[in-house]
Structure 1
Amino acid sequence: MTGPATASADPRTRTDGLGWVTRAVFGAEQVGLTVAGRPPTEHRTVARYAIVPSVRRARFLLPLGSPRATAASLLAYNALRPPRVRAARAVLGGLARLGGLELARFPVLTVSLPDAVAAEEALLSHRLAALLGGGAAYAACGVRPPDPNHKPTLQLFAPNGRPLGFAKIGWNDATRALVAAEAAALRELPALVRVPDHPVAPRLLAELRWAGRSVALVQPLPPTVRGLSTTAEPEVAAVLAVARRGRPPARPRPLAGSSFLARLTRTAHQAVATMSADTRAVVAVAGLASRHGETLVEFGHWHGDWVPWNLGRHADRLVAWDWEHSAPDVPVGFDLAHDAFQRALVLRGSSVTVAADAVDLQLRRYGDALGLNRAGQRLVADAYLLELWLRTWRLADAGAGWNPALHPALLELLVQQDHR
């Protein structure tokens, strides 16, 4: 990338996580970025960030200029994080609160602009601050290894450390689609706040396109939100509230003729067209229809990523975030299936086969509460696994690459289902 800063000093030229994040967040050509150097003489400095712990091993971009905002970027929502991460952030946040971060000799990223360029025209953080009312705002950003499925995020804080908003940045086809889907879901959810057992969700504050990016600005979570235990029982009543949206249970309908099956079939054919004559996805959908076409099941909405790390509790209400995979008209029970599969795959490091068995067990335990007989439980389990693989394909096809934990193992499992 070319720009006003020299190539050796501009982190956007890097191929690691720091390069990926700075390209996504500071993509406008007018923006100058320098590390351990001065900005061009015709530029003015508009922001400074501590790169923690180092340029080579960067994990955070922490805003400088307001100790309370810097500390808040480390301490806010710390209760949601694992104990080891929480302890490290607490130590660093305490140092920041005392104004000691600038004395800790972390590398400093300096953001600059030409004198004639307004900050809100060239910098996403300043544009978001303007949308929030125009007051001063400090942005913090985590740094992760480059991954075409990950979305850079900005946390915005007032000078006194009060959280202002949380912005997700879609930067390629896959992540732009996810950001747009979450924004669409969050626009609908305020109408459901009074539905019994329905989780509270952060409000969508703004949605915008910025330098080729799709950005969703979301209300911060309540400061006192607490995470759920990863061993806690599933929130079945909340899953049903999400599925039914305050309406009575829908009349069960057969899988055959449903818009859900039609969508799976259409998507599977699209997948096959991109996979060099590998027809297994179409075969899997045909097998699902053959086994379960006459099975009756209730259809409704789902959150799409219902897992303990996307859930919390505040003021005796369940709070749910990350709605980017939310969708209507899926078999009721998908969220519980996803919860079981991801707990096994992510938390216990299980294989796809073992995670699929966990889905079966969870649906047997809670099938009655979901209105599912044994045939319905089998349909939900099989259809969920197919839905999950098609999601994996969609992300890969949109530029995110294949998730090696799911592909090809999940597709191989799907074509064996006729014999299960």
Structure 2
Amino acid sequence: MTGRATASTDPRTRTDGLGWVTRAVFGAEQVGLTMAGRPPTGHRTVARYAIVPSVRRARFLLPLGSPRATAASLLAYNALRPPRVRAARAVLGGLARLGGLELARLPVLTVSLPDAVAAEEALLSHRLAAVLGGGAAYAACGVRPPDPNHKPTLQLFAPNGRPLGFAKIGWNDATRALVTAEAAALRELPALARVPGHPVAPRLLAELRWAGRSVALVQPLPPAVRGLSTTADPEVAAVLAVARRGRPPAQHRPLAGSSFLARLTRTAHRAVATMSADTRAVVAAARLASRHGETLVEFGHWHGDWVPWNLGRQADRLVAWDWEHSAPDVPLGFDLAHDAFQRALVLRGSSAAAAAGAVDLQLRRYGDALGLNQAGQRLVADAYLLELWLRTWRLANAGAGWNPALHPALLELLARRDHR
């Protein structure tokens, strides 16, 4: 295989996070990767990365060659991170700014290409730099445990440390679909920038297909953006602005006959067709229609992953990113339901049943602001939980595997809720 280093030095042969990320980012056949320092014979070095903190416990690939770009890859958007992470990055970033990472004896990943191969043809970071105008760019990459639902991301910086863009890489069916969906959502959002209360969203700079990958290159977040407290009240006015997109409140319509219910039911049937003898999703959709068919609710857009860690604030404007699950024509209130469920599940370690209880509580608290009576609140909660399970199935069916916190717990929970 041209350009491949030996198994002992090429991280792409590994089964851990470092192996997964390097296969996704440096998968082109011509690319040589080595952790032994020297590129293969006939290759030239085109990039070098510090593997932090070690090969076995890799968490970052930090670009070498420009101390300011290396430091920026650690310090940019540090205010969005938890205090302990922020402190560790600040120390490393200060060391990098002084050129200390080169002297810190960290393991180094060397990227090389045959002399006849142009970097823009074989390396995603160089292709993205060309899309951005052709200047030099340094790419930083986080390393996470292997997961078919995770998307490798590249942060691109100019030699002076200025952020240039943020690239998400879809590498399998599940992640390619998410990257494509986010790109489609981001194309529509600039038209909503003047809608009162609507959050600011990063602009889509480019969407491309590269070596079997789907890549969305997104504008950097505003430098002054600050994270939201995970205990702060939800941003109800912004949720309404996302749902209505500058239009007045829509007339409430029954769930029965809605395109949402039709879509939900079709997806449930598709899911059941892939699950031997397990019809619970179709049963849940039918019970939802039977129980809530005549309930009137407003339909609109939703962000799809409305949680504090996907939100920030710059001055007086809310900033929202990660729009890969955004969709139209869902019952208004889905974003608040998701916010409550994920805060309970992720931040408090609650079970799916306890997280569903948090959804009920949040919808009762803000139901009036959303125009939801008690029946509408129950509809939104039950429909959201089924929608969340169907999302879990879509990811599993596309190769991401089941999320054990949500399957089969959500199907069991929906069956119990039907008898409340």
Alignment TM class, shorter chain as reference: over 0.9
Once the two structures are superposed, residues 99-142 of structure 1 have per-residue CA deviations (whole angstroms, 9 ceiling, x without a partner) of: 00011111000000000000001000000000000000000000
Map 1:62-77; keep pairs closer than 5 Å. 62-77=62-77
**SS of structure 2 residue aligned to 1:355:** helix
Residue 28 of structure 1: how far off its partner (Å): 0.3
Residue 315 of structure 1: how far off its partner (Å): 2.3
**SS of structure 2 residue aligned to 1:202:** coil
Once the two structures are superposed, residues 29-60 of structure 1 have per-residue CA deviations (whole angstroms, 9 ceiling, x without a partner) of: 00000002311221000000000011111000
**SS of structure 2 residue aligned to 1:325:** coil
Once the two structures are superposed, residues 359-392 of structure 1 have per-residue CA deviations (whole angstroms, 9 ceiling, x without a partner) of: 0110011000001111101100000000000000
Q: 1:2 to 1:82 in 2, by over 3 A?
A: farther
Take 1:192 and 1:392, find their aligned partners in 2: how far apart are those partners?
Answer: 29
Which residue matches 2:396? 396
Contact 2:3-2:43 at 8 Å conserved across structures: no
Take 1:42 and 1:375, find their aligned partners in 2: how far apart are those partners?
Answer: 70
Once the two structures are superposed, residues 152-189 of structure 1 have per-residue CA deviations (whole angstroms, 9 ceiling, x without a partner) of: 00000000000000000000000000000000000000
Contact 2:14-2:20 at 8 Å conserved across structures: yes
Which deviates further from its counterpart, 287-296 or 2-11? Answer: 2-11
Contact 1:173-1:398 at 8 Å conserved across structures: yes
Residue 7 of structure 1: how far off its partner (Å): 1.9
Residue 151 of structure 1: how far off its partner (Å): 0.1
Residue 2 of structure 1: how far off its partner (Å): 7.2
Residue 414 of structure 1: how far off its partner (Å): 1.0
Aligned residues: 420
Identity of paired residues, percent? 94
**SS of structure 2 residue aligned to 1:265:** helix
Take 2:210 and 2:363, find their aligned partners in 1: how far apart are those partners?
Answer: 43
**SS of structure 2 residue aligned to 1:407:** coil
Take 2:312 and 2:39, find their aligned partners in 1: how far apart are those partners?
Answer: 43
Take 2:242 and 2:2, find their aligned partners in 1: how far apart are those partners?
Answer: 47
Map 1:7-406; keep pairs closer than 5 Å. 7-406=7-406
**SS of structure 1 residue aligned to 2:160:** coil
Contact 2:51-2:107 at 8 Å conserved across structures: yes
Unaligned runs of 5+ in 1: none
Contact 1:166-1:218 at 8 Å conserved across structures: yes
Contact 1:151-1:168 at 8 Å conserved across structures: yes
Which deviates further from its counterpart, 3-12 or 267-276? Answer: 3-12
Take 1:35 and 1:255, find their aligned partners in 2: how far apart are those partners?
Answer: 58
**SS of structure 1 residue aligned to 2:418:** helix
Take 1:100 and 1:238, find their aligned partners in 2: how far apart are those partners?
Answer: 44
Take 1:37 and 1:372, find their aligned partners in 2: how far apart are those partners?
Answer: 62
Take 2:50 and 2:402, find their aligned partners in 1: how far apart are those partners?
Answer: 33
Contact 2:3-2:114 at 8 Å conserved across structures: no
Take 1:330 and 1:88, find their aligned partners in 2: how far apart are those partners?
Answer: 41
**SS of structure 1 residue aligned to 2:194:** coil
Take 1:276 and 1:243, find their aligned partners in 2: how far apart are those partners?
Answer: 37
Take 1:99 and 1:123, find their aligned partners in 2: how far apart are those partners?
Answer: 25
**SS of structure 2 residue aligned to 1:304:** coil
Once the two structures are superposed, residues 253-272 of structure 1 have per-residue CA deviations (whole angstroms, 9 ceiling, x without a partner) of: 10001010001110001111
Residue 27 of structure 1: how far off its partner (Å): 0.6
Residue 3 of structure 1: how far off its partner (Å): 4.3
Q: 1:2 to 1:149 in 2, by over 3 A?
A: farther
**SS of structure 1 residue aligned to 2:267:** helix
Take 2:163 and 2:405, find their aligned partners in 1: how far apart are those partners?
Answer: 35
Which deviates further from its counterpart, 65-74 or 403-412? Answer: 403-412
Contact 2:310-2:320 at 8 Å conserved across structures: yes
Residue 305 of structure 1: how far off its partner (Å): 0.2
Which deviates further from its counterpart, 408-417 or 333-342? Answer: 408-417
Unaligned runs of 5+ in 2: none
Over the aligned positions, Cα root-mean-square deviation in angstroms equals 0.8
**SS of structure 2 residue aligned to 1:312:** strand
Take 1:393 and 1:49, find their aligned partners in 2: how far apart are those partners?
Answer: 37
Take 1:329 and 1:304, find their aligned partners in 2: how far apart are those partners?
Answer: 12
**SS of structure 1 residue aligned to 2:51:** strand
Take 2:139 and 2:111, find their aligned partners in 1: how far apart are those partners?
Answer: 12
Take 1:4 and 1:385, find their aligned partners in 2: how far apart are those partners?
Answer: 46
Take 1:418 and 1:120, find their aligned partners in 2: how far apart are those partners?
Answer: 56
**SS of structure 2 residue aligned to 1:242:** helix
Take 1:419 and 1:142, find their aligned partners in 2: how far apart are those partners?
Answer: 45
Once the two structures are superposed, residues 239-290 of structure 1 have per-residue CA deviations (whole angstroms, 9 ceiling, x without a partner) of: 0000000001111110001010001110001111111110000000011001
Contact 2:3-2:40 at 8 Å conserved across structures: no
Once the two structures are superposed, residues 201-226 of structure 1 have per-residue CA deviations (whole angstroms, 9 ceiling, x without a partner) of: 00000000000000000000011100
Contact 1:9-1:37 at 8 Å conserved across structures: no
Take 1:19 and 1:4, find their aligned partners in 2: how far apart are those partners?
Answer: 14
**SS of structure 2 residue aligned to 1:319:** strand
Take 1:154 and 1:189, find their aligned partners in 2: how far apart are those partners?
Answer: 22
Contact 1:165-1:217 at 8 Å conserved across structures: yes
Hey, which bits of structure 1, 4+ residues long, moved more than 3 A?
none
Take 2:84 and 2:290, find their aligned partners in 1: how far apart are those partners?
Answer: 49
Residue 4 of structure 1: how far off its partner (Å): 2.8
Take 2:260 and 2:90, find their aligned partners in 1: how far apart are those partners?
Answer: 46
Q: 1:258 to 1:68 in 2, by over 3 A?
A: same
**SS of structure 1 residue aligned to 2:318:** strand
Contact 1:187-1:203 at 8 Å conserved across structures: yes
Once the two structures are superposed, residues 382-405 of structure 1 have per-residue CA deviations (whole angstroms, 9 ceiling, x without a partner) of: 000000000000000000000111
Take 2:293 and 2:207, find their aligned partners in 1: how far apart are those partners?
Answer: 40
